[in-house]
A and B are shown apart, each in its own frame.
Chain A
Amino acid sequence: MAPKTDQRDMIYLDYAASTPVDPHVADLMADLLKSSGEHGNPSSAHAFGRRATTRIAHAAVQLGALLNVDPASLTWTSGATESDNLAILGAARLAQHRGRHLITMRTEHKAVTDAFDRLQREGFEVTWLDPGTDGLLDLAALEAEFRADTQLVSVMHVNNETGVIQDIAGIGALCRARGVLFHVDAAQSVGKLALDLAELPVDLLSMTAHKVYGPKGIGALYIADRPGVAVEPLLYGGGQQRGLRPGTLPTHQIAGFGLAAEIARESMHDDLERLTGLRDRLWGGIRDLPGIHVNGAKDARFPGILNVSIEDVEGESLLLALEPLCVATGSACNSTNSEPSYVLRALGRSDALAQSAIRFSFGRPTTGEEIDAAIDRYRLAVGKLRALAPECAA
């Protein structure tokens, strides 16, 4: 299952950007795409349509089991970006009679910040909260920002750049006590960390399949079955999915997501244990380098991500010198942009340190040998670039 490219010496350590499709998932999807598979339109009343509908219903049960929710509370989307947009734009616009004040964090994914930017242009008022230097949201700071007209709070579970885990139970409790809707972008945590939505005070939760060994192009939005929790659609069409997200459902992708969720549920404990070992092995191999810093909280951090900055090393050159390691400088969406990460800047990192940041992220196929190779390559690259750099001018 190693995600090799055509160059056999490539080492993929960018699982936070995307994961390879699990072979069982790929096999299932391939079978469904064959002429003997499920090509019927799930909206059709005939046997082919009913079979496709059954497949989709089964996938909802699988994903629902992972999150401990009623499958009927899940709406299929094209991925987390669409889920975020549907949740934020859909909820804010539908319930604007309740208030037009919204709260989010500066360290959210662009799929969230851009949606809030859009709402600001529509006349909503947005409070942008800064995290502490550890990347965590101070609950007291959040509490201080609530107003009578606050309608929605959106905070991601696991940060895609740093792996910092927010206290969504605490944030959700504050929201629930005030009757404020709470949306969580859980693209980086669904299938990786235990999420019991029957217990957590979360109203809307976005997820995607391709971060958890499922296919790209399919995601879901959880909408809690509670009074006052609803969104208005962004798309209009055939009325599928109760009109919330119309369009012919992609049976093979949904089935793939369902199976990926089932596999994640079964392997989560072992995955977390392995990822922790790999993360600690990598950090243990580079932590003695002078001027190296971990970005994000010491403890409340997802073990599948290690984000480090290093002094006196230029980030873009570091990324190139690290080849054949496939890692990220910031979020994958920003990988072609040499601007310092806005997430790391919000944590108080200088431009130079933010720009030198490398995000290593690990997955099920990652081996200890790959980690050892990454350690060697990182040390070599840092040494080379530091030797290349002149002393600072006096």
Chain B
Amino acid sequence: MSADPYSGRVRALFEHPVHAGSLEQAPQVLIEDQGVRIALTAQAEDGRIRAFRFRAYGCPHVVAAAEALCERYEGRPVAELEAFEAVDLVRDLPVPAEKTGRILVIEDAARSLGKTLRDVSGS
């Protein structure tokens, strides 16, 4: 007996990952852990994220979470990305408890990218 393991939001984000891809000449973070491989790249200007892209190898929840991250933080201050907590995505999508560890990989990558963007911009 199996109910649909994916919410409508997860399905939509997985099916149409409009932020999938990479940005030339932009800082990038690549992390591989727990069977997940995530690459985040972003361009920042005046302390704000102007463009945010991801690539991901992982389950549908990982892909959806990466897309939701980009969607949420594009246009937001870099400092907010540094303080990103995966628990928000886990709750919103939602992500089942047994997959939380995979979303924490995204959290690590997001925070690391936020720090890199701050270091690069010198802000």
Question: Which residues of A sit under 8 angstroms from B35, Cβ to Cβ?
Answer: 314, 352
Interface residues of A in 360-394 (CB under 8 A from B): 385, 387-393
CA distance A335 to B4 in the complex (A): 12
In this complex, what residue of B is CB-closest to A338?
B59
B69 to chain A, nearest CB (A): 14
Question: Which residues of A sit under 8 angstroms from B39, Cβ to Cβ?
Answer: 390-391
Contact of B59 among A316, A336, A352 (CB under 8 A): A316
Contact across chains for B60 and A317 when beta carbons are under 8 A apart:
yes
In this complex, what residue of A is CB-closest to B36?
A314
Question: Which residues of A sit under 8 angstroms from B2, Cβ to Cβ?
Answer: 335-336
Interface residues of A in 296-352 (CB under 8 A from B): 312, 314, 316-317, 320-321, 335-336, 338, 352
Contact across chains for B58 and A317 when beta carbons are under 8 A apart:
yes
Known contacts: A320-B14, A336-B5. The answer to whether A390 contacts B55 by CB under 8 A is yes
Contact across chains for A388 and B55 when beta carbons are under 8 A apart:
yes
In this complex, what residue of B is CB-closest to A315?
B59
Dominant secondary structure at the B interface:
mixed
B70 to chain A, nearest CB (A): 13
CA distance A158 to B66 in the complex (A): 41
Contact across chains for A388 and B17 when beta carbons are under 8 A apart:
yes
B100 to chain A, nearest CB (A): 14
Contact across chains for A392 and B14 when beta carbons are under 8 A apart:
no
B38 to chain A, nearest CB (A): 7
A284 to chain B, nearest CB (A): 28
B80 at the interface (CB under 8 A from A): no
Contact across chains for A314 and B6 when beta carbons are under 8 A apart:
no
CA distance A392 to B31 in the complex (A): 9
CA distance A304 to B111 in the complex (A): 49
Question: Which residues of B sit under 8 angstroms from A392, Cβ to Cβ?
Answer: 32, 37
For B5, B39, B57, the residue with the greatest tally of chain A CB atoms inside 10 Å of its CB is: B57
B53 to chain A, nearest CB (A): 11
Question: Which residues of B sit under 8 angstroms from A393, Cβ to Cβ?
Answer: 30, 32, 37
Dominant secondary structure at the A interface:
loop
CA distance A314 to B63 in the complex (A): 11
Contact across chains for A390 and B59 when beta carbons are under 8 A apart:
no
Question: Which residues of A sit under 8 angstroms from B93, Cβ to Cβ?
Answer: none
CA distance A319 to B55 in the complex (A): 19
Question: Which residues of A sit under 8 angstroms from B30, Cβ to Cβ?
Answer: 390-391, 393
Contact across chains for A390 and B56 when beta carbons are under 8 A apart:
yes
B20 at the interface (CB under 8 A from A): yes
Contact across chains for B59 and A317 when beta carbons are under 8 A apart:
yes
CA distance A272 to B30 in the complex (A): 49
Contact across chains for B56 and A389 when beta carbons are under 8 A apart:
yes
In this complex, what residue of B is CB-closest to A312?
B57
In this complex, what residue of B is CB-closest to A313?
B57
Known contacts: A389-B56, A390-B37, A390-B38. The answer to whether A317 contacts B14 by CB under 8 A is yes
CA distance A230 to B39 in the complex (A): 61
CA distance A321 to B2 in the complex (A): 18
Question: Which residues of B sit under 8 angstroms from A314, Cβ to Cβ?
Answer: 35, 57-59
In this complex, what residue of B is CB-closest to A316?
B59
Contact of A389 among B6, B14, B55 (CB under 8 A): B55
Contact across chains for B6 and A320 when beta carbons are under 8 A apart:
yes
CA distance A312 to B38 in the complex (A): 14
Interface residues of B in 1-55 (CB under 8 A from A): 2, 5-6, 11, 14, 17, 20, 30, 32, 35, 37-39, 55
CA distance A313 to B35 in the complex (A): 11
Contact across chains for B57 and A390 when beta carbons are under 8 A apart:
yes
Interface residues of A in 194-241 (CB under 8 A from B): none
Write the residues of chain A forming the contact surface with B, with a CB cutoff of 8 angstroms. 312, 314, 316-317, 320-321, 335-336, 338, 352, 385, 387-393
A-B pairs with beta carbons under 8 Å apart, 30 shown: A312-B57, A314-B57, A314-B58, A314-B59, A316-B59, A316-B60, A317-B14, A317-B59, A317-B60, A317-B63, A320-B6, A320-B11, A321-B14, A335-B2, A336-B5, A338-B59, A388-B17, A388-B63, A389-B55, A389-B56, A389-B57, A390-B30, A390-B37, A390-B38, A390-B39, A390-B56, A390-B57, A391-B30, A392-B32, A393-B32
- Nearest 3 pairs between A and B by C-beta? A390-B39, A390-B55, A389-B57
Not counting A314-B58, A317-B58, A388-B56, a sample of 9 additional A-B residue pairs whose C-beta atoms are within 8 angstroms of each other reads A317-B14, A317-B63, A320-B60, A385-B57, A387-B20, A388-B55, A391-B30, A393-B32, A393-B37
